[in-house]
A and B are shown apart, each in its own frame.
Chain A
Amino acid sequence: MIKTSDLVFRTMRIDHLPHIWCPGCGNGILMRDVAAAIDNLKLRQEKVVIVSGIGCSSRAAGYLDFNTIHTTHGRAIPFATGIKLASPELEVIVITGDGDCTAIGGNHLIHAARRNIEITVIVFNNNIYGMTGGQYSPTTPAGEWGTTAPYGNIDRQFDIPQLAADAGASYTARGTAYHTQQTIKAIQDGIAHPGFSLIDCYSPCPTYYGRKNKKGSAVDMMKYQRDHGVPAEQYAKLSDEEKTDKFIVGKLSQNEYPGYTQLYQQLIERSQERSQKKVYL
Chain B
Amino acid sequence: MKKNVLMQGNEACVEGALKAGMRFFAGYPITPSTEIAETCAVRLPRERGVFIQMEDEIASIAAVIGASVAGKKAMTATSGPGFSLMQENIGYAALAEIPCVIVNVQRCGPSTGMPTSPSQGDYMQSRWGTHGDHPVIAVSPSTVSEVYTEAVRCFNLSEKYRTPIIFLMDEIVGHMREGVEIPDAETLEIINRPYSDVKGISKTCYHVDEGEWVPRMLPFGEGQRYNITGLLHDESGFPTNDHAAAKKLMERLMSKISSNYEDIVRVEELLMNDAEISVICYGGTARAVKEAIFEARKYGVKAGMFRPITVWPFPEKELYPHLSRLKHIIVAEHNNGQMLLEVQRAAERSVTVSFIGKIDGTLIRPEEILQKINEVQHDKNQ
A and B from one assembly?
Answer: yes
Interface of A is mostly: helix
* Cβ-based interface call for A82 (8 A): yes
* Cβ-based interface call for B56 (8 A): yes
* Cβ-based interface call for A197 (8 A): no
CB contacts (< 8 Å) of A270 on chain B: these are 45
CB contacts (< 8 Å) of A280 on chain B: these are 42
Given contacts A65-B201, A85-B52, A268-B45, contact A70 B228 (CB under 8 A): yes
Is B227's CB under 8 angstroms from A62's CB?
yes
Max chain A Cβ within 10 angstroms of own Cβ: one of B92, B226, B229: B229
Stretch of A1-9, A73-81, A168-176, A207-215 at the chain-chain interface: A73-81
Contact with B89, one of A49, A70, A72 (Cβ below 8 angstroms): A72
Is B42's CB under 8 angstroms from A281's CB?
yes
* Cβ-based interface call for A25 (8 A): no
Contact with A86, one of B70, B92, B238 (Cβ below 8 angstroms): B70
Q: Whose C-beta in chain A lies nearest to the C-beta of B231?
A: A70
Is A86's CB under 8 angstroms from B225's CB?
no
| Chain B contacts with A in 50-92, Cβ cutoff 8 A | 50, 52, 54-56, 58-60, 62-72, 74, 88-89, 92
Is B70's CB under 8 angstroms from A83's CB?
yes
CB contacts (< 8 Å) of B224 on chain A: these are 46
Q: How large is the interface on B (under 10, 10 to 19, 20 to 34, 35 or more residues)?
A: 35 or more
Q: Whose C-beta in chain A lies nearest to the C-beta of B230?
A: A72
Least CB distance from A51 to B in Å reads: 8
* Cβ-based interface call for A71 (8 A): yes
Is A82's CB under 8 angstroms from B24's CB?
yes
Is B238's CB under 8 angstroms from A82's CB?
no
| Chain B contacts with A in 296-331, Cβ cutoff 8 A | none
Complex CA–CA separation, A275 to B48 (angstroms)? 11
Stretch of B107-115, B215-223, B283-291 at the chain-chain interface: B215-223
* Cβ-based interface call for B239 (8 A): yes
Contact with A108, one of B42, B48, B52, B55 (Cβ below 8 angstroms): B55
* Cβ-based interface call for B345 (8 A): no
| Chain A contacts with B in 253-275, Cβ cutoff 8 A | 264, 267-268, 270-272, 274-275
* Cβ-based interface call for B293 (8 A): no
Contact with B55, one of A80, A89, A107 (Cβ below 8 angstroms): A107
Is A67's CB under 8 angstroms from B221's CB?
yes
Is A81's CB under 8 angstroms from B45's CB?
no
CB contacts (< 8 Å) of A90 on chain B: these are 70, 220-221
Complex CA–CA separation, A124 to B226 (angstroms)? 23
Is B66's CB under 8 angstroms from A81's CB?
yes
Given contacts A87-B71, A275-B46, contact A78 B62 (CB under 8 A): yes
Contact with A87, one of B45, B48, B52, B220 (Cβ below 8 angstroms): B220
Contact with B50, one of A16, A62, A66, A264 (Cβ below 8 angstroms): A264
Contact with A82, one of B48, B55, B65, B226 (Cβ below 8 angstroms): B65
Given contacts A62-B229, A82-B65, contact A272 B46 (CB under 8 A): yes
* Cβ-based interface call for B364 (8 A): no
Q: Whose C-beta in chain B lies nearest to the C-beta of A51?
A: B66
Given contacts A62-B238, A90-B221, contact A85 B55 (CB under 8 A): no
Is A78's CB under 8 angstroms from B66's CB?
yes
Contact with B66, one of A61, A70, A83 (Cβ below 8 angstroms): A83
* Cβ-based interface call for B277 (8 A): no
* Cβ-based interface call for A180 (8 A): no
Complex CA–CA separation, A46 to B201 (angstroms)? 9
CB contacts (< 8 Å) of A107 on chain B: these are 55-56, 59
CB contacts (< 8 Å) of B24 on chain A: these are 82, 85-86
| Chain A contacts with B in 231-267, Cβ cutoff 8 A | 264, 267
Contact with A111, one of B45, B55, B70, B72 (Cβ below 8 angstroms): B55
CB contacts (< 8 Å) of B60 on chain A: these are 78
| Chain B contacts with A in 194-249, Cβ cutoff 8 A | 201, 219-231, 238-239
Given contacts A89-B221, A90-B221, contact A69 B228 (CB under 8 A): yes
Complex CA–CA separation, A16 to B62 (angstroms)? 27
Is B63's CB under 8 angstroms from A79's CB?
yes
Least CB distance from A45 to B in Å reads: 6
CB contacts (< 8 Å) of A66 on chain B: these are 225
* Cβ-based interface call for A47 (8 A): yes
Is A81's CB under 8 angstroms from B221's CB?
no
10 sample A-B contacts, Cβ–Cβ < 8 Å, listed by A number? A47-B221, A67-B221, A68-B228, A69-B66, A70-B227, A72-B62, A78-B62, A82-B74, A87-B71, A267-B45
Task: List 12 other contacts, CB 8 Å, given A78-B26, A81-B52.
Answer: A47-B221, A62-B227, A69-B228, A70-B230, A70-B239, A81-B66, A82-B62, A83-B67, A84-B66, A86-B50, A87-B219, A272-B45
